[in-house]
Chains A and B, each alone.
Chain A
Amino acid sequence: MNTFKIGGVHPHDNKEYSAHKQITAVPLPKQAIIPLVQHIGAPAKPVVEKGQKVLVGQVLAEAGGFVSAPIHSPVSGTVTKIDTALDAQGMKMQCIFIDVEGDEWLPEIDRTDTLNAVCKLEPKEIIAKIQAAGIVGLGGACFPTHVKLMPPPGKTAEVLVVNGVECEPYLTCDHQLMLERGEQIMVGIDLVMKALGIQKAIIGIEKNKPDAIQHMTELANKHLGVSVKPLALKYPQGGEKQLIDACIGRQVPSGALPIEVGAVVDNVATLYAIYEAVQKNKPLISRVMTLTGKSVKKPGNYEVRFGTPLTDVIELAGGVPEDTGKVIGGGPMMGRAMQNLDMPCNKRMSGALFMTKADSVRVEPENCIRCAKCVSACPMGLEPYMLAKLSAAQNWEKMEKLNVMDCIDCGCCLFTCPSHRPLLDYIRLGKGKVGGIIRARQMAAQAKK
């Protein structure tokens, strides 16, 4: 069975808690708090004023540049203020506060469930609609999708690689989305293929989701050029570069984007959002997230409007379990530990994971025994033990030579280390430093010209 060729680890997938739980809509909050930064790139610029009435789907803030995304109102009501609120890590962020009144939508949004598979739009119009709908990669990175659909001159896309892998343990929202809304995802795939002018799409799904593989294969048979590739279970298969390697056997060179090998990667949740935006005129105002954990009373997959406080979703899932030690936004491998559970849900929020106290604490590190397990585990073919040591010694120059900038933060090295050494912590530190040095060098070179 296909998989990526270098490294990788096999964490316990722990998906049984929330797998096959029907997607449940979370009730509307009393007050929605909508952050202006829910994507990679420039913050969105507010276009509403205090006291203004807004409808669901109305633009609240427009994109702050090409690599940016507009933000739409997920609720209807009155804008009360534009102020700071705390994010999951307790940092201040700019938000638009809306007091919710009823649930009135913009009239052009089609709220019916009927599948609309026919699209007469030109490729350019499709991309414009995607851009206007504020769609970003919902796999976690939140990179504005329209940017990926406009390859730079000289590069051509050949194949759309669809990410249905969901390699993060615990998370099941993409799996459930494929089961419940597979047809819509297929139309989304057709739309992107049309937008890119390509004839081939491959959906990568790991074999721990046999029902999704079967369901999507059946649907793909009805769509020209679309096929499903079952993949062996291995983390981080959902990483863009690893997924391309697993699905089409091409390796994106160091520092390059997937388009270099003719690939465009989109997550299934993103494709569903594209379907809704293009065919139903519905901008990105909600997403499906997984709320799970070993002691969560009602773990499941919840569809939540952005701006809803996470505490509302937690309440629906039976409250914060008593033995909670750590709450993670996202999955356990790459997610970030949260400090503030009041934070509003946003485009990034693929899941909230409640870890028990016992699972939350890191084990005291021991000496490196040079077992080389981190070298074997690194999916980018790096030497984590060496990079961590160089970082501790502040040898940024050598770190750059040893390709530290290729590191994708997947955490395989730390996951596998028998000595529990904080390898990735050190490498992240070094990556930040080396990145800064590279940027400074580029700026200096430009200044010289």
Chain B
Amino acid sequence: MNLIVSPAPHAHSGDSVRKNMLNVIIALCPALIVATIAFGMGAIITTAISVASCVLFEWLITKFLLKQKSHICDLSAVLTGLLLAFNLPSNLPWWIVVIGALVAIGVGKMSFGGLGQNPFNPALVGRVFLLISFPVQMTTWPRPMQGFMALDAETGATPLAAMKQAIKESNADLLSNLPTLWESFSGMIGGSLGEVSALALLIGGIYLLCTKTITWHIPVSILCTVTVFAALFAAFAGLPVATFVGTTLCAGGMMLGAIYMATDYVTSPMTHWGQIIYGIGIGLIVMIIRCWGAYPEGMSFAILIMNAVTPLLNMYIHPKRFGEQKK
């Protein structure tokens, strides 16, 4: 009788890369539904183009450039496409979306050797590339609730721009035109398609926590840092603290970044304390950019900058060893 011989352990949890990716994709569904309600067909078309081109580029690169076995079944390219789309305005011309996907997959991921090797979040690499290359298209957001087939672009003054101005001038009046907290929380304000509803993103985040796909360390440390600093800035500039903090947390890429982008396995630190420091760093940088930087939104930059710090955190921050003596 031929017996298989292998070293222990002989059992496995049944977890797989695919399952984790699928969990994140499932968690993003509520936000996609809200985006479709808010922006209509545009949201679905942009998402479909982004996902399809990410998968296609990954397949082409592995097959013809790297000549390896294809890994598209692990769903990581689908997730990159989904996250990239969530960072784009729903009315972005299709060819810009395709360029974003090429940069995200080609430059952000495959040039480093594929899944697990990239130092920066691929979707954010794609997004920032587009933001710098096509600043007008990338910051012209459609107003929400214009009907299902409405694809016209209309730029509303975004809450973040108003808040930056308010901080600069210490002028509370500028905040009077902000959407109400409920509007920004539930998602009826303009912006990139996946960022509209903090509520939908939070529901997905709870799903990720329950399925143990992510741990609380990164999102909580980012959101706490942002809350503290937003409150300090508002108090210092004499602005209404509650409105300012609430809008800071709900508007722009804050939730999407904190829950889905910063928690990207590959580019975030490996230890809990490393993750907390990483989260605090993101929170700090995003508030600095939002208040004093050239851009109204800073989440993408904050995450990319902290991505660069991740290897350093892995090098110097170790988990608590069993039986470690207090010095």
**Chain A residues with a Cβ under 8 A of chain B:** 6, 9, 11-12, 89, 169, 241, 245, 251-254, 256, 320, 324-328, 332-339, 341, 353, 355, 359-363, 366-373, 375-376, 378-383, 385-386, 402-403, 406, 409-411, 414-420, 424-425, 428
Does the CB pair B322–A380 fall under 8 Å? yes
Contact with A along B1-35 (1 / 0, CB 8 A): 10111111111110111011000000000000000
- Known contacts A381-B324, A406-B322; 17 additional CB pairs below 8 A are A241-B323, A254-B322, A325-B3, A326-B6, A328-B8, A337-B6, A360-B4, A367-B114, A367-B115, A369-B116, A370-B270, A372-B271, A380-B322, A383-B318, A411-B8, A411-B9, A419-B16
Given contacts A360-B10, A372-B265, A415-B11, contact A403 B321 (CB under 8 A): yes
Q: Cβ of B320 < 8 Å from any Cβ of A?
A: yes
Q: Give Cα A328 to B71, complex, Å.
A: 33
**Is chain A's interface secondary structure helix, strand, loop, or mixed overall?**
loop
Q: Cβ of B215 < 8 Å from any Cβ of A?
A: yes
Q: Cβ of B74 < 8 Å from any Cβ of A?
A: yes
Does the CB pair B321–A370 fall under 8 Å? no
Could you say which residues of chain B place their CB within 8 Å of the CB of A383? 270-271, 318-319
Could you say which residues of chain B place their CB within 8 Å of the CB of A325? 3-4
Could you say which residues of chain A place their CB within 8 Å of the CB of B272? 376
Q: Cβ of B325 < 8 Å from any Cβ of A?
A: yes
Does the CB pair B12–A420 fall under 8 Å? yes
Does the CB pair A416–B319 fall under 8 Å? no
B21 to chain A, nearest CB (A): 9
Q: Cβ of B284 < 8 Å from any Cβ of A?
A: no
Q: Give Cα A307 to B116, complex, Å.
A: 50
Interface residues on B, range: 35 or more
Could you say which residues of chain B place their CB within 8 Å of the CB of A254? 321-324
Could you say which residues of chain B place their CB within 8 Å of the CB of A334? 8-9
Does the CB pair A251–B20 fall under 8 Å? no
A332, A375, A380, A416: the one contacting B13 at CB < 8 Å is A416
**What 4 A-B pairs are tightest by C-beta distance, nearest first?**
A411-B9, A367-B116, A251-B323, A381-B321
Could you say which residues of chain B place their CB within 8 Å of the CB of A386? 270, 314
Contact with A along B105-119 (1 / 0, CB 8 A): 000000000111100
Could you say which residues of chain B place their CB within 8 Å of the CB of A252? 323
A402 to chain B, nearest CB (A): 7
A216 to chain B, nearest CB (A): 27
Does the CB pair B10–A256 fall under 8 Å? no
Residue of B nearest to A402 (CB): B318
Could you say which residues of chain B place their CB within 8 Å of the CB of A353? 10
A6, A370, A402, A415: the one contacting B12 at CB < 8 Å is A415
Q: Give Cα A241 to B323, complex, Å.
A: 9
Given contacts A375-B270, A381-B322, contact A418 B9 (CB under 8 A): no
Could you say which residues of chain B place their CB within 8 Å of the CB of A320? 1
Given contacts A360-B4, A366-B71, contact A371 B12 (CB under 8 A): no
Of B116, B272, B321, which is in contact with the most chain A CB atoms at under 10 Å from its CB? B321
Q: Cβ of B266 < 8 Å from any Cβ of A?
A: yes
